[in-house]
Amino acid sequence: MAPTALITGITGQDGAYLAQMLLGKGYNVYGVVRRSSHFGIADHRLRWLKIEKDVKFLDANLTDLSSLIRCVETAKPDEVYNLAAQSFVASSWQQPILTGNVTGVGAANVMEAVRIAQPTAHFYQASSSEMFGLIQEAHQNERTPFYPRSPYGAAKLYAHWMTVNYRESFGMHASSGILFNHESPLRGIEFVTRKVTDAVARIKLGKLNELRLGNIDAKRDWGHARDYVEAMWLMLQQEKPDDYVVATGRTVSVRDMVEIAFGHVGLKPADYLVIDPELFRPAEVDILLGDPTKAKQALGWQPKTTLEEMICEMVDADIVRHS
């Protein structure tokens, strides 16, 4: 019989790519969608991938335990992927409590729903390199101490430790993927890579004349979302649940990423870039650099897409969107 997966956050970047991958493997895919007044907009990523008709949607919210229990009862999933979150770090200073309720306690709600309605399901928690924040080691691995630098990072850390505790207390097959930044043409426009590729496309087409950014000295370990959802799936195929860092092992500044994007269309950033102090954060994560050795050895996973290939793919997709 075909396995069944339940994905929270299916309308987000990772949810869309994960659903596409699982459908390709023959899974029945259920996706949790929260009610919005903008009917038909929420599934734009699934429509981009042409899979919106292949997913079964269930109405729930991460802050509403009973709605999540009903989802698990309906789907009877073999695998549950908790990807839903208030995921934008900058917004987490404006909405710290909401971020805690959704990104932190919301993950516990999903685990409770699984424990109550389908305790044998394998569970994946979308943990984040933001938990390392003010880094305590040059290369961050599964044993590196955490030091979150935002309400988002703190909320993710609560969810991460709850995942470890559900595994150790209740024997649940609960795994946590500590994923470093990953991007794609389906990345939300508020995140820096997509903000840049969207602006470069519009500048190239003569529809925009400047790009405003904050701290371009920040460095990130950027990979492609399509590669990273494979690691999520591999974690749930293991006999034993565990935690894994998923990263490329290369860190690049925002400044250099901007160079790649402009260079792809033959333009120079200096002619368009404006540094806006309003876009600096109350506390910054200056640099992240992951060590994915464990994921490589235990899961046989490795990234396939370089930063250069990904940024060019994103610029090209944004040129198509704006043409």
Footprint on residues 110-149 left by ligand GDR (CB under 6 A): 128-130
Binding mask 43-82 for ligand GDR (x = CB under 6 A): ----------------------------------------
Query: Least Å distance between CB 237 and ligand GDR?
Result: 24
Partners of 178 in beta bridges: 127, 245
Q: Is 130 a catalytic residue?
A: yes
- Integer angstrom CA distances of residue 310 from 182, 230, 284: 10, 17, 25
Regarding 179 and contact with ligand NDP (CB under 6 A), the answer is: yes
- Integer angstrom CA distances of residue 230 from 15, 70, 200, 317: 12, 27, 29, 22
Query: Least Å distance between CB 121 and ligand NDP?
Result: 18
**Nearest to 31, CA basis, from 53, 61, 49, 11:** 11
Q: Return phi, psi of residue 243, to 5°.
A: -110, 140
Binding mask 98-137 for ligand NDP (x = CB under 6 A): ----x-----------------------x-x---------
Q: Is 124 a catalytic residue?
A: no
CB 127 within 8 A of CB 159: yes
Distance CA 42, CA 64 (A): 19
Partners of 218 in beta bridges: none
Nearer to ligand GDR, 130 or 243 (CB): 130
- Active-site residue, from 87, 127, 128, 175: 128
What does the radius of gyration of the chain's CA atoms come to, in whole angstroms?
A: 19
Footprint on residues 282-321 left by ligand NDP (CB under 6 A): none
DSSP 290: B
- Active-site residue, from 130, 183, 230, 313: 130
Distance CA 209, CA 199 (A): 9
Distance CA 14, CA 115 (A): 24
Residue with the two structure tokens 């991958």: 21
Regarding 306 and contact with ligand GDR (CB under 6 A), the answer is: no
**Nearest to 152, CA basis, from 218, 85, 89:** 89
Regarding 62 and contact with ligand NDP (CB under 6 A), the answer is: yes
- Active-site residue, from 27, 152, 228, 244: 152
- Give the binding site for ligand NDP (CB under 6 A): 8-9, 11-15, 32, 34, 36, 42, 61-63, 83-87, 102, 126, 128, 179, 181-182, 188
- Give the binding site for ligand GDR (CB under 6 A): 87, 89-90, 128-130, 180-181, 190-192, 195, 213-216, 218, 220, 254, 279, 281, 284-285
Among all residues, which ones are annotated catalytic?
Answer: 128, 130, 152
